[in-house]
Amino acid sequence: MPDGHVDPGRTVVLGERELAIGFRLIGLKDVIEVTPDTAADEFKRAMEAGTFSLVIASQSVRRGLSESQRAAAEASLRPLVVFVPPPSGEYEVESIGALAKRVLGVSLAMPG
């Protein structure tokens, strides 16, 4: 942008029906309901769109991605990809330290 400001981009959410409804209720417009059959294609579309700065995807979407898609998600900074627990409650947690290391490139480990 000419005035030196960085365009914050948009946020997109990819997830099952319950997750999609929740994010729509808080006002997000770019919410895509996915199924196990559509998750990988929708994820690829969101990553390649060029208009999103943040991709919030359900852990169930992560499980449906290929190894190369998972690697691309973990390495991506724009868009930044964050996986959230599905409504079922089953989830894999990325620690704050691991997230900081991936996004910022710094370790939050405290000296012993």
Q: How far apart are the first and last CA of the chain?
A: 45
Q: pLDDT, tens digit, for every residue of 53-108?
A: 999 999 989 999 999 999 999 999 899 999 998 776 555 555 656 666 666 666 65
Count of CA atoms in the C-beta half-sphere (13 A) of 88:
9
Q: Which tokens go with 104? A: 């910022």
**C-alpha angle 79/85/91, rounded to 5°?**
115
Tell me how far apart the alpha carbons of residues 106 and 67 are, in angstroms, rounded to a whole number: 25
Confidence at residue 79, expressed as pLDDT on a 0 to 100 scale: 94
Domain extents for the chain? 10-104
Question: What is the per-residue pLDDT for 54?
Answer: 94
Write out the two tokens for 32: 């895509």
Query: Which fold, 10-104?
Result: Rossmann fold (3.40.50)
pLDDT digits (tens, 9 = 90+) for 8-59: 789 999 999 999 999 999 999 999 999 999 999 999 999 999 999 999 999 9
pTM of the model: 0.72
Rounded-to-integer distance, Cα 83 and Cα 39, Å: 13
